[in-house]
Each structure stands twice: as structure tokens, then as C-alpha cells.
Amino acid sequence: MNLLTAQAPGGVPRSGKGLALSIGRFMLVALALVLSLGFTQMAAAQADPDREMTTAAPGITADQWRQVRSGETGPNYRDSRADSNYSLINSSGETWRQIRNRWVSPFGLIAVFGMAALIALFYFIVGRKELEQPRTGRLLLRWTLMKRALHWTVATLFIVLALTGMTLLFGKFVFRPCLVMGCGPG
């Protein structure tokens, strides 16, 4: 028995009805995704970013930043950690940026490359796992198509999220944007 003549789990042979049902489910999910894209476009069209920016943080100058960093607080320039509703400037973000640039990014890079080096070292020491018996040529249906598709979807998302997370963490210090997108004028 090969993969083409294999039976579905539970001993039920594959039929045209099951195939039509799975195609119908796929079409229903695709329709739901397309409709959800339409709703997100409507929500984005309703937002007015220009109006929001003028009311949220009108023109913060360098002098105002110096006042907040030095600890001077006035009625309009307060750190959001203080007990007030005036959260015009939050200087604790600058503290996190400095910690991230000084400690988190370098040690994160060491951890990522260190794990890759440990995996390579393990492979060179232990080697490939060989089969105890020679291959017989028989094929078994180990995982269904749905489980394989789910596995590769999650694997692809993991890789994309890892790359975007590394870009956010290391940014321009490791990944040179000029190499990928080209440098702008000036």
C-alpha cells in the first residue's frame, strides 16, 4: 500500500464526498478571511491620524525634553509615573532604550549565535542518527495533509516572527537597511 491508496485514519476509505466537504470548508475559511480584510479597511478609513496627533502631543521642543529629564515638573511637563493626568512625556522609555542598547541587544545576539553554535557542536560530536535496519521501500501515511499543513504554517510563522523580532531588537546595528532597501538621498 502506498500513499495514493492509503486509507484515512479509522479505516474509512477516502471518497469524493469527503473531498467536497474539505474543499467547502476551505472555501468558507477563505471567504471569512476576505471579509475580515474588508472590515479592517473600513476601520482604518475611520481613523484620522492627523487630528489624533494634534491633540495627543503638540510640538514638543528640546527644552521641554531637558526639563523632563532634569526632573523639573510643571503643570504641562510631567512624567507619566507621577500621580497626574498630564502624561505628555514619558522619560522612562529612554531608560528602557538605553538598557536595551547596552545589555539586551548584545546578550541577545550572543544567545542566538551561541545556541546555533551549540547545535552545530552537537551535530559534529553525535553525528547523524542512522537507521537500525535498511529501508524496505514501504510507505506509511504518518501525518494527514491537514496536520502537515498546520505544521508548516506554524513553522513559517515562527521563522517570520523570529526575523522581525531580531530586526526590532537589533535594528540598524546588525541589519543594515541600506543594503536591503537602498539609502535615501543625503
3 state SS for 66-115: HHHHHCCCCCCCCECCCCCCCCCECCHHHHHHHHHHHHHHHHHHHHHHHH
- Does residue 66 sit within a domain? no
Distances 90 to 70, 104, 122 between C-alpha atoms, Å: 13, 21, 46
- Does residue 168 sit within a domain? yes
- Does residue 181 sit within a domain? yes
- Does residue 63 sit within a domain? no
Domain that holds residue 171: 147-186
- Does residue 15 sit within a domain? no
Query: Cα angle at 147 between 141 and 153, to 5 degrees?
Result: 135
- Does residue 169 sit within a domain? yes
Dihedral pair phi/psi, residue 79, rounded to 5°: -75, 145
Tell me the per-residue pLDDT of 54-108, one tens digit each, with 9 for 90 and over: 555 556 677 777 776 776 655 555 555 555 455 556 666 778 888 888 888 889 8
- Does residue 157 sit within a domain? yes
Reduced to 3 states (helix: H, G, I; strand: E, B; else coil), residue 57 is: coil
- Does residue 156 sit within a domain? yes
Task: Determine the pLDDT at residue 182.
Answer: 61
Tell me the per-residue pLDDT of 118-171, one tens digit each, with 9 for 90 and over: 999 999 999 998 889 999 999 999 999 999 999 999 999 999 999 888 888 887
Specify the number of domains making up the chain.
1
